[in-house]
Chain A
Amino acid sequence: MLIKLTGGTVYDPASGIAGQQQDIYIEHGRIVNAPTAEIKADKEYDLTGKVVMSGAIDMHTHIGGGKGNIARTLLPEDHRADPVARTHICRSGCGHAMPSTFVTGYRYAEMGYTAGFEPALLPINARQAHMEMGDIPILDKGGYVMLGSDDFLLRMLTANKDQQAINDYVAWTIQSAKAIGVKVVNPGGINAFKFNQRKLELDEQNAHYGVTPRQILQVLATAVKEIGISHPLHVHGCNLGVPGNVQTTLDTIQGIGGLPMHLTHIQFHSYGTEGDFKFSSGAAQIAEAINKNKNITIDVGQILFGQTVTASGDSMRQHANHKHASPNKWVTMDIECDAGCGVVPFKYRDQNFVNALQWAIGLETFLLVDDPWRIFLTTDHPNGAPFTSYPHLIRLLMDKSFRNDMLATIHPEAQKMTTLASIDREYSLQEIAIMTRAGAAKLIGLQDRGGLSPGNWADITVYTDLPNREQMFAKPNYVFKDGELVVVDGEIVKTCWGTTHTVKPDFDVSVEKELKAYFDRYLTMKLGNFKISDDEITENGRGSLTVHPLRRAS
């Protein structure tokens, strides 16, 4: 079937198109060239006056894996406030802070998102993450495999293994876990917590291994670059949430020595210690460093006010944060000589000085970083706020008067501690399209996604150009996934299953010899049973695998 989208105003940064009226043709799930005049479209949508973008891509959202399911189990009262009934098209479930898998897919699609990436795929828990994501309809998905606190890597560093050996291990882990990138969380800190260390500075040694976070970042960022992974090392830095951590973050940027690095939810890592409350915004310094260091990309991890739950691999920092739990219940876990996790419910309050300033710090960061290709729109779902708050966040970025109205309502001392009111910048539609589409696809290394030129998969979102950007982005008129119309006027009309995006970097197979001995001696699973096979993703008829090219090969 040939579908024609006629006369829409197209924002396609991947092709350098910024608000031009253009027709788009779809056939067999992909965007195709305009057919010859005699071929008529089977179906035509008149998009005159509408805004057309590719489907949005959330490059950092906790949608799969054990800690998310702990968060769900922990908060029945949150689900009860947002029950989601079955319809003749959709499965039932629950919403709000940590929605059920089916509802996750529906609500993302209803906002025009067509892909989401789980940033914390623990190697030993990757199977679960893929199974959960396998129950998320419509969206494409993928994950960044978590390394850096696993005992195997730390043993390698202590044994002074060369970079090539580490590259082989990283590539092997990516393949075993079916990932598309590599993440490190509180480098070495999750491991150090198991040895009863309660904090770990960038240059502080792990009590057992003598290895520092700086070393871990260096070898992993190098590995990612050398094995040709498009997505730079995805870094949740040291000292999350600690006042004064802006210096840690600046040191981390300097310390990586020009290697590509993505700093995630940087808002939580941009805190100074000035002012009466010894808590201040480091956003200006961070933004300056980002603007200067072209090897660095960031996503913000904006907080928005209300109840949510924080779910992180950072067991060390989450344990320290448990005193802020609201409601007062929380979970941490040490996991399989591999990683850990911590789940702490949070209620961010606009009349709480720290929360109010966190809100302002995130927005300052968005507005002070110049290059929209190197900054991404996230709330670190669900940690800063549930992903369903993205339309509100987009309005805060695009509408200065709305932003200032909101600013006027937060804790008065926080208002004094932010420069937000003096920032005039308003994001354009093109900049939003870069942050949430073209830039995200480029950053992750997705081939044929995030753009609207012929050859791309037809993931397309059509909005009405409303002055209230929150309303506009909350309810697209149409969403197409792989050419199928799945949403009309913000409601699901059809469901389908997306693909799982991966990379398959090469490694020297002899790496398995040492790994097998390690698994047999110390772990609780056989090496052969650890590796995730292709059919595990595809066997229930819902999933498919897409392998993207490595950077070198492209």
Chain B
Amino acid sequence: MIEIIEVPSPFCGIGTDDLSIQVDGVTVKVLSNGCAVNTPLFEQPITDISARVNGNSVSLEEAVAKAAALLQDTKLPVIGGCATDVNGMRALLALADKSGAVVDNMNFVGARNNFLALQDSGWMNTTLAEVKNRCDLLLVVGSDVEAFAPRFFERYFWTDAMFVEDSEQRQIIYLGRAPSGDASTSPNGHKASIYECSIAELPEVVAVLKALVKKQPILAETVGGIAVSDLQTIAEQLRAAKYGVVTWAAGALSYTQADLTVQMLSDMIKEINNQNTRCSGLPLAGKEGDQTANQVCGWTTGYPARTSFSRGYPEYDPFLNDSRILLANGEADVLVWVQAFNVNATPPVTDLPTIVIGRSGMTFSKEPDVFIPVGTPGIDHAGHAYRMDNVVAIRLKKLRNSNLPSTADVLNAIEQAL
């Protein structure tokens, strides 16, 4: 039995790297600094150690050969999930390039809200250490920060800061959605301000807030049930802050054209900076390899991870390359699902031949044609994963000897066999 300290997590997206973990054979136990997101994902036991073809245990070589055979002579393979480490994504993209596949990260529908805003007008963003050391006002829009990352406030808010005199005096405002717990209440009991509205009304509320920041006159007295005078207060707080931060989880903005909300927020932040005050955005995103998928796909193709190689070169389309649509309308002819982090993130059920490169322990409502259990980056092998703020890649540690292959091992072998 050994104890490993300063373990980084690839799961929570906020780059916690202070976990202490006990390893006994292949059993992992989080001793300290776990959370509701990380602990179960670290402690998930290994159940499958052998690959399966049509439900029967086979050698890894046989499973790889079968996967390659299923990919041979296909017209439009779809590689979904895309939840793995940097080397896994490198191998995934090499396979996609060779097989002419569509690559589609499983959380792209949420991420698209950010990408569309970024690619249309850009933004001014910040990273977690700047939040920790500078942020004196946090505006949370339509999102539940602690459900996303339970330790966000403990690690980055109620803690020593270089440039915030008294961390407990930092202000937090929730706009749209109330938090699910008390993590945003400061240790001395200072509570966040909460202005609730229905999520569907958030675009209107944000539009009015942005207009107020731009000093446009507003005739209405309420919007989405929130008093305009309250929004005026928020606008003034943003202007008065030394380093305001506006955060949103793109996936939580669960209505159509939510990219326009992200764009309004980003434009509002730019406007505040034009009024001689600093303010930055902080998109909350990037669990289980989402950022990793988009980063590696970004440097390999120029585009985020919803990109098709079917014409021999990468083509990005944030709508047409949606794998669920390609599966539903019969364009795809084989599905490869790659998910090395989360046994509950199973592939969409389809009648098409299905190859799953998944975390050991994954169970299926419909047995895939090929299932190859792989190790989890940061537990079974070393690797790299991106944090939510994209700038920081964390070095994942190998914690145990499970003999499970890595995603990269398996995908490289399939690519070689093609």
Q: Could you give, for residues 239-264 of chain B, a 1 whenever the CB lies within 8 Å of some chain A CB and a 0 otherwise?
A: 00011000000000000000000000
Q: How far is the CA of A189 from the CA of B123 in the complex (A)?
A: 20
Q: Which residues on the A side are within 8 Å of B121 (C-beta)? A: 328-329
B311 to chain A, nearest CB (A): 8
Q: Which residues on the A side are within 8 Å of B50 (C-beta)? A: none
* Interface assignment of A258: CB less than 8 Å from any CB of chain B: no
* Interface assignment of B392: CB less than 8 Å from any CB of chain A: yes
B301 to chain A, nearest CB (A): 6
Interface size class of A (residues with CB under 8 A): 35 or more
Given that A91-B94, A522-B129 are contacting pairs, would A83 and B314 also be in contact in the complex, using a CB cutoff of 8 Å? Answer: yes
Contact, CB under 8 Å: A336 / B301: no
Contact, CB under 8 Å: A74 / B299: no
Given that A66-B391, A92-B97, A100-B301 are contacting pairs, would A524 and B119 also be in contact in the complex, using a CB cutoff of 8 Å? Answer: no
- B residues 103-154 near A (Cβ < 8 Å) are 115, 118-130, 132-134
Q: How far is the CA of A539 from the CA of B302 in the complex (A)?
A: 24
Q: Which residues on the A side are within 8 Å of B124 (C-beta)? A: 319, 331-333
Contact, CB under 8 Å: A92 / B15: no
* Interface assignment of B18: CB less than 8 Å from any CB of chain A: yes
Stretch at the interface among B54-62, B271-279, B331-339: B271-279
B383's nearest neighbour on chain A, judged by CB, is A539
Q: Which residues on the A side are within 8 Å of B87 (C-beta)? A: 539-540
Given that A132-B299, A524-B156, A525-B15 are contacting pairs, would A333 and B312 also be in contact in the complex, using a CB cutoff of 8 Å? Answer: no
* Interface assignment of A552: CB less than 8 Å from any CB of chain B: no
Q: How far is the CA of A522 from the CA of B302 in the complex (A)?
A: 34
Q: How far is the CA of A332 from the CA of B127 in the complex (A)?
A: 11
* Interface assignment of B46: CB less than 8 Å from any CB of chain A: no
A524 to chain B, nearest CB (A): 5
* Interface assignment of A370: CB less than 8 Å from any CB of chain B: no
Q: Which residues on the A side are within 8 Å of B392 (C-beta)? A: 124-125, 127, 336, 524-525
Contact, CB under 8 Å: B393 / A131: yes
Q: Which of A127, A196, A338 contacts B393 (CB 8 A)?
A: A127
Q: How far is the CA of A174 from the CA of B404 in the complex (A)?
A: 35
* Interface assignment of B155: CB less than 8 Å from any CB of chain A: yes
- B residues 287-324 near A (Cβ < 8 Å) are 294-295, 298-304, 309, 311-316
A246 to chain B, nearest CB (A): 28
User: Chain B: interface secondary structure?
Assistant: mixed
Q: Which residues on the A side are within 8 Å of B314 (C-beta)? A: 79, 83, 92-94, 100
Contact, CB under 8 Å: B299 / A135: yes
Q: How far is the CA of A125 from the CA of B394 in the complex (A)?
A: 10
Contact, CB under 8 Å: A94 / B6: no
Q: Which residues on the B side are within 8 Å of A332 (C-beta)? A: 124-125
User: Chain A: interface secondary structure?
Assistant: mixed
A506 to chain B, nearest CB (A): 24
Contact, CB under 8 Å: B304 / A521: no
- A residues 305-329 near B (Cβ < 8 Å) are 319, 325, 328-329
Contact, CB under 8 Å: B132 / A131: no
Q: Which residues on the A side are within 8 Å of B214 (C-beta)? A: none
A466 to chain B, nearest CB (A): 31
- A residues 506-532 near B (Cβ < 8 Å) are 521-526, 528-529, 532
* Interface assignment of A99: CB less than 8 Å from any CB of chain B: yes
Q: Which of B129, B276, B299 contacts A101 (CB 8 A)?
A: B299
Q: How far is the CA of A208 from the CA of B300 in the complex (A)?
A: 40
* Interface assignment of B280: CB less than 8 Å from any CB of chain A: yes
* Interface assignment of B43: CB less than 8 Å from any CB of chain A: no
* Interface assignment of B196: CB less than 8 Å from any CB of chain A: no
Contact, CB under 8 Å: A72 / B302: yes
Q: Which residues on the A side are within 8 Å of B384 (C-beta)? A: 127, 131, 536
Q: Which residues on the B side are within 8 Å of A343 (C-beta)? A: 122
Q: How far is the CA of A539 from the CA of B125 in the complex (A)?
A: 32
Q: Which of A83, A124, A533 contacts B391 (CB 8 A)?
A: A124
Q: Which of B18, B120, B129, B301 contacts A337 (CB 8 A)?
A: B129
Q: Which residues on the A side are within 8 Å of B17 (C-beta)? A: 525-526, 529
Q: Could you give, for residues 152-175 of chain B, a 1 whenever the CB lies within 8 Å of some chain A CB and a 0 otherwise?
A: 000110001111000000000000
Contact, CB under 8 Å: B18 / A526: yes
Contact, CB under 8 Å: A66 / B390: yes
Given that A93-B302, A100-B299, A329-B119 are contacting pairs, would A522 and B393 also be in contact in the complex, using a CB cutoff of 8 Å? Answer: no
Q: How far is the CA of A193 from the CA of B243 in the complex (A)?
A: 11
Contact, CB under 8 Å: B313 / A86: yes
Please indicate which of the listed interface residues A66, A325, A539 has the most CB atoms of chain B within 10 Å of its own CB.
A66
A169 to chain B, nearest CB (A): 17
* Interface assignment of A335: CB less than 8 Å from any CB of chain B: yes
* Interface assignment of A434: CB less than 8 Å from any CB of chain B: no
Q: Which of A101, A331, A337, A526 contacts B122 (CB 8 A)?
A: A331
B208 to chain A, nearest CB (A): 24
Given that A329-B121, A336-B392, A526-B6 are contacting pairs, would A76 and B299 also be in contact in the complex, using a CB cutoff of 8 Å? Answer: no
Contact, CB under 8 Å: A85 / B129: no
* Interface assignment of B359: CB less than 8 Å from any CB of chain A: no
Q: Which residues on the A side are within 8 Å of B155 (C-beta)? A: 524
Contact, CB under 8 Å: A74 / B119: yes
Q: Which residues on the A side are within 8 Å of B301 (C-beta)? A: 79, 92-94, 100
- A residues 91-144 near B (Cβ < 8 Å) are 91-94, 98-102, 122, 124-125, 127-128, 131-132, 135
Q: Which residues on the A side are within 8 Å of B115 (C-beta)? A: 73
Q: Which of A73, A122, A124, A529 contacts B298 (CB 8 A)?
A: A73
- A residues 48-88 near B (Cβ < 8 Å) are 66, 68-69, 72-76, 79-80, 83-86
* Interface assignment of B90: CB less than 8 Å from any CB of chain A: yes
Q: Which residues on the B side are within 8 Å of A330 (C-beta)? A: 122
B303's nearest neighbour on chain A, judged by CB, is A76
A227 to chain B, nearest CB (A): 25
B246 to chain A, nearest CB (A): 13
Please indicate which of the listed interface residues A73, A93, A94, A329 has the most CB atoms of chain B within 10 Å of its own CB.
A73
Contact, CB under 8 Å: B302 / A79: yes
Contact, CB under 8 Å: A98 / B302: yes
Q: Which of B134, B278, B313, B393 contacts A84 (CB 8 A)?
A: B313
Q: Which of A102, A193, A331, A521 contacts B123 (CB 8 A)?
A: A331
Q: Which residues on the B side are within 8 Å of A536 (C-beta)? A: 384, 395
Contact, CB under 8 Å: B391 / A529: no
* Interface assignment of B356: CB less than 8 Å from any CB of chain A: no
* Interface assignment of B86: CB less than 8 Å from any CB of chain A: yes
Q: Which residues on the B side are within 8 Å of A521 (C-beta)? A: 160
* Interface assignment of B382: CB less than 8 Å from any CB of chain A: yes
Q: Which residues on the A side are within 8 Å of B242 (C-beta)? A: 196
* Interface assignment of B8: CB less than 8 Å from any CB of chain A: yes
Q: Which residues on the B side are within 8 Å of A193 (C-beta)? A: 278
Contact, CB under 8 Å: B118 / A524: no
Q: Which residues on the A side are within 8 Å of B302 (C-beta)? A: 72, 75-76, 79, 93-94, 98-100
| 3 A-B pairs with least C-beta separation | A94-B302, A79-B302, A83-B313
Ordered by A's residue number, 26 sampled pairs between the chains whose C-beta atoms are within 8 Å are A72-B299, A73-B298, A74-B118, A76-B302, A79-B301, A85-B311, A85-B312, A85-B313, A86-B98, A86-B309, A94-B313, A122-B391, A125-B392, A128-B393, A196-B277, A329-B118, A329-B122, A331-B118, A331-B122, A331-B123, A333-B126, A338-B129, A343-B122, A523-B129, A524-B155, A529-B395
Given contacts A73-B303, A93-B301, 9 further A-B contacts (CB under 8 A): A73-B294, A74-B119, A86-B309, A92-B314, A93-B313, A127-B393, A135-B90, A331-B123, A338-B129
